[in-house]
């Protein structure tokens, strides 16, 4: 599984998500998009200590 598939699934879930959880789901999407933008291909196995701050 790659980050693109996960982001696509989360964005689809956002359409049918309970209104009380929209903010949390949006936050998770934002985090994954930032990780993707940083060039991380496999977040579960990434060494985040090497990323520039």
User: What span, in angstroms and rounded, lies between the C-alpha atoms of 50 and 44?
Assistant: 14
Mean pLDDT of 25-52: 87
Q: With the CA atoms of 32, 30, 6 and 9 taken in that order, what torsion angle do they form, in degrees rounded to the nearest 10?
A: 180
* Whole-model pTM over 0.85: no
Q: Are 6 and 14 in contact (CB under 8 A)?
A: no
Q: Is the pLDDT of residue 51 over 80?
A: no
| Helix ranges, the chain (H) | 3-16, 22-37
Q: Is the pLDDT of residue 53 over 70?
A: no
């Amino acid at each position: 599984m790659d980050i693109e598939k996960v982001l696509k699934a989360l964005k689809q879930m956002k359409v049918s998500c309970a209104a009380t959880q929209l903010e949390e789901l949006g936050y998770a999407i934002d985090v994954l998009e930032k990780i993707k933008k940083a060039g991380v291909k496999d977040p579960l196995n990434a060494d985040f200590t090497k990323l520039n701050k």
